[in-house]
Amino acid sequence: MSHYLDISHISIEFPTKNGPFKALDKVDLKIARGEFISLIGHSGCGKSTVLNIVAGLYQATEGAVVLESKEVNEPGPDRAVVFQNHSLFPWLTVYENVELAVKQVFKGKKNKAEIRDWVAHNLELVHMSHALHKYPAEISGGMKQRVGIARALAMEPKVLLMDEPFGALDALTRAHLQDALMEIQAELNNTVILITHDVDEAVLLSDRIVMMTNGPAASVGDILSIDLPRPRDRLALADSPDYNHYRAEVLTFLHQKQAKPDVPIVAKSATATPADAADTDQKLDKVVGA
Ligand SMILES: Nc1ncnc2c1ncn2[C@@H]1O[C@H](COP(=O)(O)OP(=O)(O)OP(=O)(O)O)[C@@H](O)[C@H]1O
């Protein structure tokens, strides 16, 4: 059976001054179109390395990544990446940051008016229409992440790769963006690989959670299917036995099966609400004068 995204037995060795370092050993993962996958595992196990190989930024030493029957060997707009630290161009406005990516991807395929509408539409999806002409320095961290997500979505990638996109945000802003991402996902049905250290985030957002073993030579330790109905509501889930069961499964994997006592894994309350988050965003707006 062919899969939309096939990460097939990938291994990678990095050259170091002490000789080759094998970071991944035969990581194997088949992903269906529209699936939301989270990668979780202790710090340094190799999550970003997997993502970088899928992005085409690193070459696997063994194995292959095949997307829609085509082998991935270099970066391309069919795989958009959102990093933890927003990577917006500071000299461009919010609108121009997204427009730049759209012009690169849709050169010759969309006319001026279509480009304008498409940029505006994607910024609307992440609720940033009110700040089109602001510069990155004039908006909060959460807003910058939203613009980064809009820019990635606007490229219409086959796969959205997210490397701890909410890791640097406060809990309420993070909750707000998680909800926004779930709404967008419901509308667009993207194929997503998300790296997170946050167990609640993984359970809330994912169709499957891929739990990686500790490195070196890390691989897939276990895969947990999250069969919670959508749309998912964080407040309702806080009292759900199924939700808490999934959460416990991931925590057990991390703290018992792959114990690494000196590394923090975030397992916070799932009860931060979008309203709280909006409140925080407003406070942040005041701080930055948005
Ligand atoms: N370019 C590189 N050269 C040498 N070693 C590397 C390189 N990139 C990653 N590594 C090593 O590979 C291992 C996996 O790193 P990676 O960044 O993928 O882990 P991670 O699970 O994403 O970590 P974290 O959760 O802390 O971000 C680490 O031991 C890291 O030091």
Nearest alpha carbon, ligand 1 atom 8: 49
Q: How many CB atoms lie within 10 A of CB 33?
A: 13
Cα atoms in the 13 Å half-sphere on the side-chain side of 277: 22
Any ligand 1 atom below 6 A from CB of 46 = yes
The per-residue pLDDT for range 74-123, each reduced to its tens digit, is 999 999 999 887 689 999 999 999 999 999 999 899 999 999 999 999 99
Q: What is the pLDDT of residue 1?
A: 52
Q: Which amino acid is at 61?
A: T
Distance 218 CA to ligand 1 centre (A): 11
Q: How far apart are CA 195 and CA 164, in angstroms?
A: 5
Q: What is the pLDDT of residue 276?
A: 41
ipTM computed for the complex: 0.98
Any ligand 1 atom below 6 A from CB of 45 = yes
Question: Which one has a higher pLDDT value, 270 or 120?
Answer: 120
What is the share, in percent, of the chain residues with pLDDT greater than 90? 74
pTM: 0.88
The per-residue pLDDT for range 161-207, each reduced to its tens digit, is 999 998 888 888 889 889 989 988 888 899 999 999 999 999 999 99
Q: What is the pLDDT of residue 187?
A: 86
Q: What is the pLDDT of residue 267?
A: 52
The CA distances from residue 18 to 2, 14, 29, 32, 214, in Å, are 40, 10, 30, 39, 20
Pocket test for ligand 1, best of 11, 38, 43, 47 (most atoms within 8 A of CB): 47
Distance 148 CA to ligand 1 centre (A): 23
Pocket test for ligand 1, best of 43, 45, 83, 254 (most atoms within 8 A of CB): 45
Q: What is the pLDDT of residue 264?
A: 53
- Asked if the model's pLDDT at residue 266 lies above 80, the reply is no
Any ligand 1 atom below 6 A from CB of 47 = yes
For 11, the 3-state DSSP assignment is: strand
Q: How many CB atoms lie within 10 A of CB 273?
A: 15
Distance 13 CA to ligand 1 centre (A): 11
- Specify the length of the chain in residues: 290
Question: Which one has a higher pLDDT value, 269 or 22?
Answer: 22
Interstrand relation of 70-71 and 62-67 (parallel, antiparallel or unpaired): antiparallel
Question: Are 82 and 165 a contacting pair, CB within 8 Å?
Answer: yes
Band the pLDDT of 285: cuts 50, 70, 90: very low
Q: What is the pLDDT of residue 273?
A: 41
- Asked if the model's pLDDT at residue 40 lies above 90, the reply is yes
The per-residue pLDDT for range 69-79, each reduced to its tens digit, is 999 999 999 99
Question: Are 203 and 246 a contacting pair, CB within 8 Å?
Answer: yes
Band the pLDDT of 278: cuts 50, 70, 90: very low
Distance 60 CA to ligand 1 centre (A): 14
Q: What is the pLDDT of residue 87?
A: 84
Question: Are 175 and 233 a contacting pair, CB within 8 Å?
Answer: no
Nearest alpha carbon, ligand 1 atom 9: 49
Band the pLDDT of 46: cuts 50, 70, 90: very high
Alpha helices by DSSP H, the chain: 47-55, 94-105, 112-125, 141-154, 171-188, 199-205, 234-238, 241-252, 274-288
